[in-house]
Amino acid sequence: LPGKPDIVLRKYRTCILVNGCFWHGHEGCKYYVVPKSNTGFWMEKIRRNRERDHEVLHRLAEMGWHTIVIWECELKPAVREKTLEALAFTLNHIYLEDHHIRRYELPEEVPEMVAEPEAERREE
């Protein structure tokens, strides 16, 4: 598959990409800091990585694959459990959407009248 996903879940038709925060330029992340030496080189390298990442996600989508990107910082011990719970929730949602599970509904029946209509009742 394009981009060589880290994890491929065929049952869910889902690819999981685990991105390093530095190498893939995770904006706003404390682990993404451009080095002070050779800055131009690193900025260009990370820009190309981001472009490639965008292209890979686009190609996978065209092929009918769902993609989930997990960042390195989301696997740190303090937040790992939350990340894995979100991943499980997302995979369940993907599975249910892809398999169009429908609920069985009973048709409503018009209740039958047990007593005679008022007009037909005898007055006593």
Whether residue 122 is predicted with pLDDT greater than 70 in this model: the reply is no
Q: For residue 70, give the 3-state DSSP assignment.
A: strand
Please state, rounded to an integer, the average pLDDT across all residues of the chain. Answer: 88
Q: What percent of the chain stands above pLDDT 90? A: 72
- Give the pLDDT confidence of 92-119 residue by residue, as tens digits: 988 888 777 566 676 777 666 666 666 6
Query: Is there a contact between 33 and 22 (Cβ–Cβ < 8 Å)?
Result: yes
Which of 18-27, 77-86, 112-121 is least confident? Answer: 112-121
Q: In the prediction, which pLDDT does 75 show?
A: 96
Does domain 7-99 correspond to CATH entry 3.40.960.10?
yes
Of 81, 92, 97, 74, which Cα lies nearest the Cα of 17? 74
Query: Is there a contact between 22 and 101 (Cβ–Cβ < 8 Å)?
Result: no
First CA to last CA distance, the chain: 86
Of 54, 61, 1, 4, which Cα lies nearest the Cα of 24? 54
Q: In the prediction, which pLDDT does 98 show?
A: 78
pTM: 0.73
Question: What is the DSSP secondary structure assignment for residue 73, as one 8-state letter?
Answer: G
What is the number of alpha carbons within 13 Å of residue 69 lying toward its C-beta?
Answer: 15
